[in-house]
Amino acid sequence: MVSFRRKTTENNADSTALIPSGDADQSKDAYNKGKKDTSKNWAHEMTEWVVVFIVCFSGFYFFTFGDHERAHHKKQMDAQLQELAKQFEAQKTSLTSQLDGLYQQLFAAQETTKEAIQQAEAAVSPAEAAAPPAEAAPAQTAPVAVSAEEQRLQAEIDRKKAELEQRQKKIASFCDWCSFNHGGLQTTCGARRDYLIDNYGDSPEAAVLAVMGWDPACSSIKN
């Protein structure tokens, strides 16, 4: 059964017309559906705008501030590499100086040993020289003590030389073509070494050790 409702006509406010209520419900549903579709479209458009904004802002930030951040990082890295190079250069200078001092001490100890032996031999009388070795032993006390000092100095020299040899082995393991990639700086280990030499005047050895100290991947010997 179809129900009817009154509707005021446009031409006469006092006149009314009966229209089926089913048509009214359909019109209402269509209106609500259109309203929902409009809301969905609006939300979809807003989402697209937000995505576009994020992409544009990210690109702007990358190109505007990315270069600045990379430059700042590179400046910090250069300063730290330079500090490492200075430390390795000072280390070599110290080892070389210590070795020179040890060699001088060893030479002095050897001269002292020779003098002690000569004095001991000069103090021995013909009768003592003909005596059994056990009786002549006290005269050899001083030379033996100096000889022990020579042994101590030689052991210290060998230890320092081993440190220098280990340093040279590490330098020999440097990988020129290996990748050096830090903070957006993409280059090779060899190019980074040359940069320190050309721009800061570091010695080749110190530059190599500094680069490997910063990035162990620059060594061909992998742990």
Question: Domain ranges in the chain?
Answer: 163-222
Kindly report, residue by residue over 100-154, the tens digit of the pLDDT: 999 999 999 989 888 888 887 777 656 555 666 555 455 445 455 567 889 999 9
The reported pLDDT for the residue numbered 7 is 47
The Cα-based distances of 10 to 7, 15, 24 in angstroms read 9, 9, 17
The Cα-based distances of 146 to 108, 110, 138 in angstroms read 10, 8, 14
CA 148 to chain centre: 46
Kindly report, residue by residue over 166-207, the tens digit of the pLDDT: 999 999 999 999 999 776 678 999 999 999 999 999 999 999
**pTM confidence score:** 0.59
User: How far is residue 206's CA from residue 180's CA, in Å, rounded to a whole number?
Assistant: 17
The Cα-based distances of 73 to 25, 78, 142, 157, 184 in angstroms read 68, 9, 63, 42, 9
